[in-house]
Structure 1
């Protein structure tokens, strides 16, 4: 790092960062590029290093609902900076202060030397007077489009819808299509409009609507930047125009979007949620670098290397109705299929007809299991499988005895009343009674049943937050979310080897903070294998391949092609096997066994492979989608034909003109013809005239 009179120049390796440090203006990021990129920057489009909104302060420029333009941000003045190396990363810290409120703002940037990836966060320190924080950016970055470009047309904004049954559906729009356009303001000396495009989430489903991610990509593919907000609760990011270019501001919860406010007494501190930035050219490079970064920041766990096959009896199978009568045949079928973990899903605790009720006590039902639940977990172990169990640890049914035995303060409340959502109450893990209750229940189940796997589900979205012992409802929610992940870490620390899956109605909590703690992540509850194909193909945009669990659910009424299609959905991620395994014919079971054997033969490569999309990121209704995994030795590629011509051509331009060995990984026994057209650089696959999927291995000769 070097410092001249006005600029801090940081060169940690794969990226270059210049931050102004003059005495008469806020410190601003003047340049942020990949190493060696000589692209110009325009100081007119730069933003202060942080946007901080305080109670009693409005916007500093152009009144609007944007995060950009805070009065504090424009008043900041450079104080100091430092650089250090720790845990394989380079770190830069820039400190500035607001001379009016005496609030100090510390902007931190951390980078690996070999990745064009930076993690950013902001810390606020109150001065001699108390302040009310209403928004704190984790990153504020101007000039993310090139100076002089027609930013409203020459770029595309990528963002992903993520709703129940329809997860990770990426969209591309020009800024103009999103309401960011040239409106002629520059001729009147106005450097930016009031317009912005923002995406966020306010409730306890951190990804219940959109992924906390975005991409800005030059349409000529000269430059792309990706951002990922890393929080398991509320978040927001926005794009807008300033100084003839686009800007990005990303944050955790805010007053406007999620009823968040935090009071800081003199000298108190607040640290924002992190945001990760990635610089690259195209999607494959962006998500490849992000995959490598995700692997480095997550909590180490042996599951991320072993990738055991998981059977779960819920999806298109027992559907939350396990009993001592219907489970033994399913356990035996799971053993025959080749499963290594058996997770009993919902319903084991209720004497009623539906799994949705009776949540909170977590005592096995004697009506369903008169000989005790231990008889089932013992049967799983005898079959060579690690026993697992489903819970919703944060939830208590309103009819549960726990709703009356725990103090009112142990639950989310608003205005003195407990928050009720879908007949459920939300435990507040900040309260010691709530945490002691669930920790004791889970510890008892682990010890009594010999569990090695837990599925933590969460099937409601509490948007109200809680105002108990909190400066604001959003801040109560914020505190609970942080304690939640601390508890999960502690639980796995106490039980080394215990695997805890994250699930929230499938993929409604698929955020980077959660993924850095849980070794495995549910990606969807979708029950149709044809739709699941699009989800499986998009999954590596949100989660590393070795953590992303995808359902396969073979059914005895299906054709062999449909069963193989469902199994292929899982082969480049983590296998979650459901369906009516207990009712399959011997040939159908053999097809399942073949699929799982193929997975066991290739899964060790998924732990280091990087994803690529030869047909681009999949559209929800695309007739053909494809996902590849590439390592130094070869490529694995799954191609799903859902409709259209039976001959599918997959472009692999990097291999054009070379000889490629093509091998069918799965299914080997169904009709397939796969050939390599070297001059065209295309893989040509001929498939039957019904939906069909194939996983192949490609190796240069």
Structure 2
């Protein structure tokens, strides 16, 4: 056996291979953990037409090509972000070469991995059924990452010692995390008596481009018995598949982008052509909190660097429970004044600003300001925003063209998604294909015009439809066309940042339907939901940092003049430990209500805004359940710990907030928001020996919330 090691001070991987065995990761070292992988899996698994599995199954793992790949070479390099490794593999019989790419950011124990498959065009076995007469080969799936579960030094692997933590998502119901023991996912089958591994797996699949529309491309495997926690993710804004399964020797996890069986994806490689998988990333830590700290650091290291990341500005948006897509000069000017008086820093005009028909949904695409809504021009409104000291923002849905938009006829057919010779249409929208130069030019011209002509500094990018399998125009398959479009979309967003370095962009896809890292690494703000019931939103807000940094999490607060004071404050607390994200008719509120908004904004700017960009999220009551009566979210910063507690239908609960990082320290609790007359004090009792704070919610019923600061 031969080995080499690669990594940095935060994490090291050991690779092992032999002349008759594929290359595999055999060990990982990080933060005092030495993990071994005695169950060896090839670095990459590939299905191609004319090949299959060496054991018949429908898994991503155990493919003939994966088993045949052999070590060729490896090379390391370094850039400003961190360490890089390329491991070259080859299947000589098929003439395939595979380069597996690893990236490890400095001081971050989480690595990114992808694979490039190349048809080298000189197989030794010319009669292979996988090769066409012209030497081409058709790929049907390629993993980005695959690994055994592993075990710490001195302990054997145990597939039953883990629990899978995964998430169910839904429009208006995002972030519903739950845990299942692997012993329930994978029954004992006595498969060792057959001499074969089992054939099933727990597979989670996303189709279309709402990458988090039903499930999430991020999950965890947690073992308190072994003292290990995996966190893994697929970094892609469309079709993906991940799976965990049981083998005889250990469990395994496999991550991939689109596949043929799930997504109508196939990619033909002629001799000399290559295909690169979507990125995936993974980390191993001693526990759940460690894994969350690692992924939070990774997100900050790997995203596009923008000044707004470290000091996230306070945002007002006119849509939710307010104008709802019907903006006019008369409606906006009072809101602008109210927002400015409240300390808002960004004011975003939402949907409808371009529409003269009164039906804004199918008219999107031309992006010219309405003359009916703004008789003196939209500049009157945008100038009012800027003159009030705020950044002006506009809503766009760049990837679609409404069926009633003039652009539906003026753009060429190549600019749109097609299947079987017809344009793809979904809810009165055509979908732009950003592989096409005309589509990209249209969007570049639009954004540049709105920035240069009107002084827009913030965009809310929405995305309210999904194209199912994709587009087969100029593609090997519908899934191939979809993957090409999504990569082109990401590149287009990167181009906007290069041309407009001060631009702030929010990612909104029907709320939280596209919260993958391919998106969140390219946007400063992430809308977490379209949920409009303030009583339900805390479960979404509390879970949001599982998928993004806290400073990106745009959890809506939309206080209503009809709310009682506690409900009003409850609403504001929902946005307090994220990106402050406000809506509502500020101009229709009482003096006391406006004062409470000002209090919340000032408290946020003083206590949260300076530290949120370096904080680490945690959950002092555990991950929130959708129907939990009491929920909590915490942020750990260098000099303070912030915790928001929401009590729904309170009846005098006493709850214990677990703050293990403050154990043994003298701590002074302080209520940050709300404070003042009319708000009952919530007694907080600190136990330094256990690292726990006992909080008592006064009896009285209703929806009540407080944000606390704990300083050691």
Note the aligned Cα RMSD (angstroms).
1.7
Of residues 543, 552, 555, the one that matches 1:547 is 552
Offset at residue 11 of structure 1 (A): 4.7
Contact residue 556 and residue 583 of structure 2 kept, 8 A: yes
Contiguous gaps of at least 5 residues in structure 2:
122-134
1:54 and 2:59 matched: no
In 1: Cα distance, 2:287 partner to 2:307 partner: 32
Aligned twin of 2:107: 114
1:663 and 2:670 matched: yes
The secondary structure found in structure 2 opposite 1:74 is helix
In 2: Cα distance, 1:93 partner to 1:16 partner: 15
Of residues 351, 359, 364, the one that matches 2:369 is 364
Structure 1 range deviating more: 227-236 or 680-689 = 680-689
Aligned twin of 2:425: 420
Give 1:197-208 correspondences, 5 Å limit: 197-208=202-213
Contact residue 216 and residue 516 of structure 2 kept, 8 A: yes
Give 1:35-54 correspondences, 5 Å limit: 36-42=32-38, 45-54=39-48
Aligned twin of 1:181: 187
Aligned twin of 1:168: 175
In 2: Cα distance, 1:197 partner to 1:145 partner: 21
Aligned twin of 1:673: 682
Structure 1 range deviating more: 241-250 or 684-693 = 684-693
In 1: Cα distance, 2:101 partner to 2:358 partner: 53
Aligned twin of 1:83: 76
The secondary structure found in structure 2 opposite 1:676 is strand
Offset at residue 659 of structure 1 (A): 2.0
Offset at residue 632 of structure 1 (A): 2.0
Aligned twin of 2:703: 691
Aligned residues: 690
Offset at residue 396 of structure 1 (A): 0.8
Aligned twin of 1:28: 24
Offset at residue 243 of structure 1 (A): 3.2
Contact residue 662 and residue 674 of structure 1 kept, 8 A: no
Aligned twin of 1:596: 601
Aligned twin of 2:628: 622
1:249 and 2:254 matched: yes
User: If the length of structure 2 is used for normalisation, what is the TM-score?
Assistant: 0.94
Of residues 56, 62, 65, the one that matches 1:72 is 65
Contact residue 414 and residue 464 of structure 1 kept, 8 A: no
Aligned twin of 2:501: 496
Contact residue 321 and residue 354 of structure 1 kept, 8 A: no
Offset at residue 114 of structure 1 (A): 3.0
In 2: Cα distance, 1:319 partner to 1:637 partner: 32
Offset at residue 674 of structure 1 (A): 3.0
Structure 1 range deviating more: 546-555 or 665-674 = 665-674
Give 1:138-149 correspondences, 5 Å limit: 138-144=144-150, 148=156
Aligned twin of 1:612: 618
Aligned twin of 1:484: 489
Aligned twin of 1:403: 408
The secondary structure found in structure 2 opposite 1:543 is coil
Contact residue 54 and residue 64 of structure 2 kept, 8 A: yes
In 1: Cα distance, 2:146 partner to 2:249 partner: 16
User: If the length of structure 1 is used for normalisation, what is the TM-score?
Assistant: 0.95
Give 1:521-532 correspondences, 5 Å limit: 521-532=526-537
The secondary structure found in structure 1 opposite 2:329 is coil
Offset at residue 38 of structure 1 (A): 4.1
Offset at residue 487 of structure 1 (A): 1.2
Aligned twin of 1:641: 647
Contact residue 267 and residue 480 of structure 2 kept, 8 A: yes
Of residues 163, 167, 180, the one that matches 1:156 is 163
Aligned twin of 2:538: 533
In 2: Cα distance, 1:142 partner to 1:649 partner: 37
In 1: Cα distance, 2:530 partner to 2:314 partner: 18
In 1: Cα distance, 2:166 partner to 2:429 partner: 32
